[in-house]
Amino acid sequence: MKRLLRTVCYRCIPPRYLMTKIRDGRAVALTFDDGPHPKYTEPILKVLSEEGVKATFFLVGNEVKKYPDLAKAIAQEGHAIGNHTFSHSHLNGMRFHALSQEIDETTDLIQRTTGVSTRLFRPPYKKVTVPLLWYAFHHRLTIVLWSIDSRDSFEGASPLKMRYEIRSAGPGDILLFHEDYPHTAQAIRSIILDLKTKNLNFVTVGDFLKN
């Protein structure tokens, strides 16, 4: 019942403020959370560059602060950048002031570090709360969720299992990956090639906020 109510609520909110799929009948969007990562971001960027694919990276403020050169590299490669809070804290029960600090501090840090002024936000653990919706409405923020989870953060994840999870991906899907797992960096090329065999294009989530 909770899942049904959540789905109904999501569909009532305009995609300008809450996005679960992209508005494109020919493309998918690859998204990466929790970076930048000192070991795995560069291999992921290398594969994306070699395959001619642009993705969306939802960065954690703490990690941007520690690895600014990697954040800059993501931007310089032409990928879209989103906000994933400063500390990757759970938003359930978080008051509006604390939520604002988490988002604002990260947005400012991303701007100073990469030159990117982002209006994309992904809540940790997919938790969309009333304070977050209020913030999004008043700050023209787009909350970006996903339609398919690669499950790379699950116990026992492997490149083969990730390809299995992505097998149903089709036009309009937003795919979730994480930068901080070795199997993600190992699997991403095969997953891209699998999607290309379906004649799918690759877009960033930010492509749909330019108009």
pLDDT in tens, the chain (211 residues): 455 445 555 667 777 789 999 987 899 999 999 999 999 999 999 999 999 999 999 999 999 999 999 999 999 999 999 999 999 999 999 999 999 999 999 999 999 999 999 999 999 999 999 999 999 999 999 999 999 999 999 999 999 999 999 999 999 999 999 999 999 999 999 999 999 999 999 999 988 775 4
- Give the closest residue to 163 by CA, choosing from 155, 173, 171, 175: 175
Burial of 14 (0-12, 13-18, 19+ CB in 10 A): exposed
Specify the CATH superfamily of domain 24-209. Glycoside hydrolase/deacetylase (3.20.20.370)
Q: Are 91 and 55 in contact (CB under 8 A)?
A: no
**Domain range annotation of the chain:** 24-209
Compute φ and ψ for 156, nearest 5 degrees: 85, 10
Annotated catalytic sites, by residue? 33, 178
Report the C-alpha gap between 105 and 161 in whole angstroms.
36
